[in-house]
A and B are shown apart, each in its own frame.
Chain A
Amino acid sequence: MNVSLFGLFSVFVILLFIAGTYSILVTFNLIRALIGIEILIKAVTLLIILAGYLTGNLGLAQAIAITLIVIEVVFMVVAGGIVLSIFRHHGTIDTRNLRDLKG
């Protein structure tokens, strides 16, 4: 990786962070919020690869990245199941319906 490619990579990671945060902040849709989380986790995975590249510790970084992908899949399956059950109860996936618990 030469310098310009490295800069491109870092900019891409930052863009992913902004995109993920933005998509969580603006939406009232549960699935879109999950997609935002997914984008953020992807950004962090790339950040770890970047850190591994900078310090020459790529072996550890790759091992961590692969483990993260597995964890992320499990997380998303459970989250998807919960969203599906919420949809069955409410008939919609709007976060504004989730206001029963207060106090």
Chain B
Amino acid sequence: MFSLLVLVPFLILVAVNLSKKVAPNVACSLTALATLAQAGFVVSLPGTLLKTNNVIFTWLPDFKLAIDEFSIVVLAAIGIVAFVACCVARSTINDPGQRATFMNLLLVALIGMNTTVMLRDIFSIYLFVETIAIISFVLISIDRGRLALEGAFKYLMLSAFATILMLSSIALMLLFSPTLELSGLAEAMSVYPNPILIKLSIGLFLCGLFIKSGLFPFHWWLPDAYSAAHSAASVLLAGIITKVVGVYVLMRLSLSIFGESLHIQAMVMAVGALSIITGAVLAMTQKNFKRMLAYSSISQVGYIILATGVGTPFAFAAAAFHFFNHATFKSLLFVNAASVEKRLGTMDMREMGGLSNRMPATGITSLVGFLSTAGLPPFSGFWSKFMIVLALWAAGKYFYAAFALLASILTLGYMLILQRNVFFGKLKDGLGGVKEVGPGLVIPQLVLAAIIVLVGVCFPFVLNKFIFPVQSIFLK
């Protein structure tokens, strides 16, 4: 059943490229259906099916695909965000050739992400991360604009450094482990006498992942890439791609390889906390809508990383929950940005104001996204941030718990600046003719807003069915 997650996008990819006559809209619809089916299928899985260590495919002893409770949360997020990116691409990319290119790239990225989530050996994970990175260079520079190319090149250079760091780390791992499969690697690490070599290899790999997920010392490529990319591409990148290639892989490795090492945990938590504060402070100074959202993304990813570094099952579940919530509310805000850009043709916040009057659906859904990002009840973001703070407190990290709580006030601050400049207040002169965007953009906004509200309101149900089972991975 799970092989379909990879096979269906692959078959669609082949089918829409068989003949030149297939319209890009057909590809759009097929992909949208496939991604919706993925989200539905994954969500409908009862937790009891996953009692065993669910290996779904084995080829060589080293290579297998497996699925667990954490993968399910990530797969659901992938399905939802890819669906939204489909809708946005359909109504914002005007050139049919470009739209076809975008759909092809999206399908390959979908295959890559779904496989990454199921992989269990470090070299294959690297391989798929690299493939998705190459796709994102093309996605960013899809309209070959001046700024887009600059953003793509910056990402490319940093990503190449990440590649070199990760590969050096794999070379070091080969020195002490006969296999690169995650559980075998963890076993080899526990018996190897030289801790410095092990820490060096893990540290190098982590630095590569920090670059890929845009965390504090390596964050500066991310706003450039997100703000210069086409709207549809930035929804896909910000919503899921950098999260899967960076954050998911980091969480998976922390689960299997370096979960018990105190030094590494301290480092991961420090990087997370620094990213929270850097992202939030820099977001306040921005004049560009998408740049501000990109800095906010750095800050929110910091929360996920901070919770991952704690190393308790509850903190890990909280991180997984915030992973899902971040994917939904950040893509909602980026779809709002896409709507505003479609109507106004600019992303400069000094030229906006009072847009809620003219674009009610965009205004209201952005308010939902904003309240969820800022962590206000009853929206989904509140519960995951609350869980993160609780987990930090329960693990005895009082400083970080207070820090996470205070930093969410900063989040509220920059989101208020954003709302006041763009949606609230009096309508700016010259914007009188602005109309609400068409259903192609309103529907994804409403879908995402509904998910955020539903997850927030039905919190106990979601918690018991999807989030608490994540903790059981630690027992296996």
Which residues of A are at the interface with B, using a C-beta cutoff of 8 A? 30, 33, 37, 40-41, 44-45, 47-48, 50-52, 54-55, 57, 60-61, 64, 67-68, 71, 74-75, 78-79, 82-83, 85-86, 89-90, 98, 100-101, 103
The answer to whether A47 touches B144 (Cβ under 8 A) is: no
Task: Give B139-167 interface residues, CB cut-off 8 Å to A.
Answer: 141, 144, 146-147, 149-154, 156-157, 160, 163-164, 167
Q: Write the nearest CB–CB distance from B109 to chain A, whole angstroms.
A: 14
* Interface CB pairs A-B, < 8 A, 17: A44-B168, A51-B174, A55-B174, A55-B175, A60-B62, A71-B131, A75-B134, A78-B138, A79-B137, A82-B152, A82-B153, A90-B146, A98-B153, A100-B146, A101-B151, A101-B223, A103-B286
The answer to whether A41 touches B156 (Cβ under 8 A) is: no
Q: Write the nearest CB–CB distance from B158 to chain A, whole angstroms.
A: 11
Does B256 make an interface contact (CB < 8 A)?
Answer: no
- Complex Cα distance A86/B154, Å? 12
Determine chain B's interface SS by DSSP, over half rule: helix
Neighbouring B residues of A68 by C-beta, 8 Å = 167
Do A37 and B157 form a contact, CB below 8 Å, given A47-B171, A55-B178, A82-B141? yes
Do A86 and B153 form a contact, CB below 8 Å, given A75-B130, A79-B137, A101-B228? yes
The answer to whether A82 touches B171 (Cβ under 8 A) is: no
Q: How large is the interface on B (under 10, 10 to 19, 20 to 34, 35 or more residues)?
A: 35 or more
- Complex Cα distance A61/B167, Å? 12
The answer to whether A85 touches B149 (Cβ under 8 A) is: yes
Do A89 and B146 form a contact, CB below 8 Å, given A74-B134, A79-B137, A79-B156? yes
Number of A-B pairs, beta carbon distance below 8 Å: 96
Neighbouring A residues of B151 by C-beta, 8 Å = 101
Q: Which of A50, A89, A90, A101 has the most CB of B within 10 A?
A: A101
The answer to whether B154 touches A98 (Cβ under 8 A) is: yes
A51-B171, A57-B178, A74-B134 given. 10 additional CB < 8 A pairs?
A37-B157, A37-B160, A47-B167, A48-B171, A75-B160, A75-B163, A78-B138, A101-B150, A101-B223, A103-B287
Does B68 make an interface contact (CB < 8 A)?
Answer: no
Neighbouring B residues of A74 by C-beta, 8 Å = 134
Does B127 make an interface contact (CB < 8 A)?
Answer: yes
Q: Top 8 nearest A-B pairs by Cβ distance?
A: A51-B174, A44-B167, A101-B224, A47-B171, A37-B160, A48-B171, A51-B171, A98-B150
The answer to whether B167 touches A41 (Cβ under 8 A) is: yes
The answer to whether A57 touches B174 (Cβ under 8 A) is: yes
- Complex Cα distance A51/B227, Å? 41
- Complex Cα distance A103/B157, Å? 19
Neighbouring B residues of A54 by C-beta, 8 Å = 175
Do A82 and B137 form a contact, CB below 8 Å, given A40-B164, A44-B164, A103-B288? yes
The answer to whether B141 touches A71 (Cβ under 8 A) is: no
Neighbouring A residues of B156 by C-beta, 8 Å = 78-79, 82
Neighbouring B residues of A52 by C-beta, 8 Å = 174
Neighbouring A residues of B29 by C-beta, 8 Å = none
- Complex Cα distance A45/B171, Å? 8
As a 0/1 sequence over residues 378 to 398 of chain B, the CB contacts with chain A under 8 angstroms (1 = contact) are 000000000000000000000
Neighbouring A residues of B146 by C-beta, 8 Å = 89-90, 100
Neighbouring B residues of A90 by C-beta, 8 Å = 146
- Complex Cα distance A83/B138, Å? 12
Neighbouring B residues of A86 by C-beta, 8 Å = 149-150, 153
Contact of B175 among A40, A51, A71, A85 (CB under 8 A): A51
Does B17 make an interface contact (CB < 8 A)?
Answer: no
Q: Write the nearest CB–CB distance from A45 to chain B, whole angstroms.
A: 8
The answer to whether A103 touches B285 (Cβ under 8 A) is: yes
Neighbouring B residues of A37 by C-beta, 8 Å = 157, 160, 164
- Complex Cα distance A40/B167, Å? 10
- Complex Cα distance A74/B156, Å? 13
The answer to whether A67 touches B127 (Cβ under 8 A) is: yes
Neighbouring A residues of B153 by C-beta, 8 Å = 30, 82-83, 86, 98
Does B111 make an interface contact (CB < 8 A)?
Answer: no
The answer to whether A41 touches B164 (Cβ under 8 A) is: yes
- Complex Cα distance A71/B171, Å? 16
The answer to whether B157 touches A33 (Cβ under 8 A) is: yes
Do A101 and B147 form a contact, CB below 8 Å, given A48-B171, A79-B156, A82-B152? yes
Q: Which of A51, A55, A67 has the most CB of B within 10 A?
A: A51
- Complex Cα distance A50/B167, Å? 13
The answer to whether B180 touches A60 (Cβ under 8 A) is: yes
